[in-house]
Amino acid sequence: MNFDDLIGHIGQHTVDGLSKGAIYALIALGYTLVYGVLRLINFAHSEVFMVGTFAVLGLWTAFGVENNPPIGEAVLMLVLGLIVAAVASGGTALAIERIAYRPLRRKNAPPLIFLITAIGLSLVLVEIFGLVLPDLLGSVIPSMFGRPRQIVGMPTIIEQQTLFTIGNTSITNVQMIVLAAAVIMMAILDWFINRTRYGRGVRAVAQNPETAALMGVNQERVIMLIFVLGGIMAGAAALLWSMRFGFTQNSIGFVLGLKAFTAAVLGGIGNLRGALLGGLFLGVVEVYGATLFSSQWEDVIAFVVLVVVLMFRPTGLLGESLGRARA
Amino acid sequence: MTDKNRKAEVRRAGPVERIGDRWRALPRWQRALGFAAMIVFLYYLPLLGIPGLTWLRTDSIAGGANWAGVLFTCAVYVMVAIGLNVVIGLAGLLDLGYIGFFAIGAYSVALFGSVNSPVVKYLQRQFDLPETWAVTWAVCAFLALVLTMISGVILGWPTLRLRGDYLAIVTLGFGEIIRIVARNAEGLTNGPQGISAIPGPEGPPSPDNQIFGLVDVKPWYWLAITFVLVMVFAVRRLENSRVGRAWLAIREDEDAAAVMGVYPFKYKLWAFAIGAALGGLSGMLFASRYAFIDPTQFNVNTSILFVAMVVVGGSGNMLGVSLGAVLLAYLPERFREIADYRWLAFGLAMVLVMILRPQGLIPSRRRTRELKDREAQAQEAPAHV
């Protein structure tokens, strides 16, 4: 128990936690959107994120990005990365919906069947990136697929520099970008769901699918839309992850996905603002916990938080609802 | 139901169901004879030499593995599948962290039975026992049962009130926690180094062991298959008991069951505890056979493999889940060239089975009917989700 470290550097730990939680929050949005409309845990969403990181890596490899490129190139690569990751992740999410979930929805299958299908899909995606692609492309792009199932490093696109210091809390440029980007993406999504015509359709289907259908909302299109939106957010998270941590792996999605799901439940699954709050909260709790005990217990802390939340407030901090005005 | 309808029903039933019907229609003595022949064949399997069937043996191919060893793995997986079937197939609770119970079973026999474990060393110091002292295997097996049952209750108590899909995620987290604890708590579990010299029925592994040695796996297989048969018998009795009917009622409609006076939480907890105990027993046998365990053996992928065995085979049907377990354990061993691709194949199998044949390869009749009902409902009223 390392209380001195925690109390002494509380500001630093909070900032670290927030920048970590921002990525959880972006992934959590995917779970929350799908759950809000379909009442279904899209277990394969973690792999949507993983595909995004590989798309970013692929882009940077294709352009031959070196460590610490000049600022102009870095910005260009980040913008392009966002587009490529969003397309790759959104496309994966859409493909998952079309291939796996739609036939099951037609059959009115019980929720557990959806969940098992999703687990199978996520296993397939993990293995495609861990084994099939290395087998096919290992000799073509050895920097990406040279060693099956191994961690792949990425070029450092922005060097971590301390931007400013308040007390003994220093905030780096990368942390700043991650937090700002996450909040901006969230704000755009929130606006989209609450203020646009399409968003109104999403909320309508979340509230009452039959009535929405009677009012002329195309349900299938709404479902496709939420999968794509969740995928885009996961793509953004993938870009931020690549920038901040600079590595990926075929199995990276699993633990991250579980934590993002925890974040979604923590904030109230189905609630967009809840996902942001839950993500940031979980990130901070995790960093505090890791400081108190030791970083090897980090993952356990997230799961314990999940169990405790589900036991005492299963509807999360802000309550679960995509349909209500709050969302 | 009119005769015509019944015929249509029979026609709609697939070939597997028809074989099942044919079997149930046989006279009792013929079925008993069939079972006896089956059991004899199971015990004879490690010596398999029937011409025309020897290609089944995994050591018949280049670089093939020890046949009895593969059979032992299959038998342990069948035990796991039968245990998990109680939770998933009978009570309808999706448990993704079954590996956690398997690990607790394995660690119970390791921690109390091996002279190298920190727990045994601590006990030796506390009570001035000789350095060769450790808990005997039979007591360890009992401990494994009790400890996993308790852990099942501890996990189930707070989580079984949750909705089904939440339960799945929480149990997944539980499986991970057990592995991380086993890895990090070095003072208790030796951490990543693992624990060696785990005893078998004859005591700690040594060259003097007459029957249960490390080289000849046949006795281990025979032991495992005996466990399997006892478990099949016990679970079958359970299935047709008051508890089994309560599980069925809860699975089909929890609210209706509660109205009829079946307290869902109590029976779910029973399913969880019994499933956990059976998983622990399999883990215990697994650890005894290999005489060594470390935390990496209990990863999430294996846990998902367990679930795949049950759902691909046909959850709710013991023959189905056993077939699933045997297939998933045996095929990668027999076709070693594809062994690398097995996780991909498992994933694909899960997706395809769920989309095309959600009731599994050898389905339970009642499960099939439940799924058909839902499908019919969907066609009548194309509702949400």
Q: What is the pLDDT of residues B62-113, one digit of tens each?
A: 666 788 888 999 999 999 999 999 999 999 898 989 999 999 999 999 999 9
Residues of B in contact with A296 (CB under 8 A): 180, 183-184
Task: Identify which of A204, A324, A200, A209 has the alpha carbon closest to the alpha carbon of residue A274.
Answer: A324
**Helix locations, A208-271, DSSP H:** 209-214, 219-245, 252-267
Least Cα separation, residue B25 to chain A (angstroms): 32
Using pLDDT thresholds of 50, 70 and 90, give the confidence band for residue A160. confident
User: For residue A326, what pLDDT is reported?
Assistant: 39
Distances (CA, A) of B69 to A34, A229, B341: 45, 49, 21
Check: CB of residue B311 under 8 Å from CB of residue B354.
yes
User: Using alpha carbons only, what angle is made at residue B111 by residues B109 and B115, rounded to the nearest 5 degrees?
Assistant: 100
Is B276 an interface residue toward A (CB < 8 Å)?
Answer: no
User: For residue B63, what pLDDT is reported?
Assistant: 65
Which segments of chain B have a pLDDT < 70?
1-13, 62-64, 380-385
Q: What are phi and psi of A169, to 5 degrees?
A: -105, 120
C-alpha to C-alpha distance for B58 and A48, rounded to whole angstroms: 38
In this model, does residue A321 exceed pLDDT 80?
Answer: no
Least Cα separation, residue B262 to chain A (angstroms): 22
pLDDT in tens, A89-119: 999 999 999 988 999 988 888 877 888 899 8
User: For residue B384, what pLDDT is reported?
Assistant: 46
In this model, does residue A325 exceed pLDDT 50?
Answer: no
Residues of A in contact with B341 (CB under 8 A): 127, 131
Task: Identify which of B141, B65, B129, B13 has the alpha carbon closest to the alpha carbon of residue B333.
Answer: B65
Q: End-to-end CA distance of chain B, in Å?
A: 32
Least Cα separation, residue B309 to chain A (angstroms): 12
Burial track B254-272 (b if 16+ CB lie within 10 A, e otherwise)? beebeeeebebeebbbbbb
C-alpha to C-alpha distance for B162 and A313, rounded to whole angstroms: 11
Query: CA gyration radius for chain B?
Result: 22
Across the interface, whether the CB atoms of A300 and B165 are under 8 A apart is answered no
Q: End-to-end CA distance of chain A, in Å?
A: 39
This prediction has a pTM of 0.87
pLDDT in tens, A144-154: 888 888 888 88
Q: Are strands A152-153 and A162-166 parallel, antiparallel or unpaired?
A: unpaired
Q: How many CA atoms lie within 13 A of B242 on its CB side?
A: 4
Strand partners, A247: A153
Token readout for A150 is 């191994």
Across the interface, whether the CB atoms of A131 and B341 are under 8 A apart is answered yes
Label residue A79 exposed, middle or buried (CB < 10 Å: 0-12, 13-18, 19+): exposed
Residues near B73 by beta carbon (within 8 Å), at least 6 away in sequence: B329, B333
Across the interface, whether the CB atoms of A105 and B355 are under 8 A apart is answered no
How many contacts does A have with B, using Cβ atoms within 8 A? 140
Least Cα separation, residue A81 to chain B (angstroms): 28
Helices and strands in chain A: count of H runs, count of E runs: 15, 4
Give the three-state DSSP class for A106: helix
How many Å separate Cα B345 from the centre of its chain? Answer: 20
Least Cα separation, residue B380 to chain A (angstroms): 11
Query: Among positive and negative, which fits the CA dihedral B270, B273, B277, B283?
Result: positive
Answer left, alpha or beta for residue A172, where phi above 0 means left and psi between -120 and 50 means alpha. beta
User: For residue B12, what pLDDT is reported?
Assistant: 58
In this model, does residue A306 exceed pLDDT 90?
Answer: no
Residue B293 DSSP one-character state: B
Residues of A in contact with B340 (CB under 8 A): 131
Give the three-state DSSP class for B62: coil
Burial track A38-71 (b if 16+ CB lie within 10 A, e otherwise)? bbbbbbbbbbbbbbbbbbbbbbbbeeebeeebee
Q: What are phi and psi of B200, to 5 degrees?
A: -115, -170
User: Using alpha carbons only, what angle is made at residue B355 by residues B349 and B159, rounded to the nearest 5 degrees?
Assistant: 85
Across the interface, whether the CB atoms of A124 and B348 are under 8 A apart is answered yes
Q: Are strands A152-153 and A169-172 parallel, antiparallel or unpaired?
A: unpaired
Is B62 an interface residue toward A (CB < 8 Å)?
Answer: no
Using pLDDT thresholds of 50, 70 and 90, give the confidence band for residue A267. confident
Q: How many CA atoms lie within 13 A of B76 on its CB side?
A: 25
**Helix locations, chain B, DSSP H:** 3-12, 15-25, 28-44, 67-85, 98-113, 118-127, 137-159, 164-184, 186-189, 218-239, 242-252, 254-259, 264-290, 300-313, 318-334, 342-356, 365-380
Check: CB of residue B247 under 8 Å from CB of residue B90.
yes
Give the three-state DSSP class for A172: strand
Mean pLDDT rounded to a whole number for chain A: 88
Instruction: Give kind and range of the element (H or E) at residue A166.
Output: strand A162-166
C-alpha to C-alpha distance for B140 and B284, rounded to whole angstroms: 8
C-alpha to C-alpha distance for B366 and B359, rounded to whole angstroms: 10
Is B159 an interface residue toward A (CB < 8 Å)?
Answer: yes
Query: What is the interface pTM, i.e. ipTM, of the complex?
Result: 0.86
Check: CB of residue B182 under 8 Å from CB of residue B295.
yes
CB-CB: which of A116, A128, A209 is closest to B354?
A: A116
Residues of A in contact with B378 (CB under 8 A): 106-108
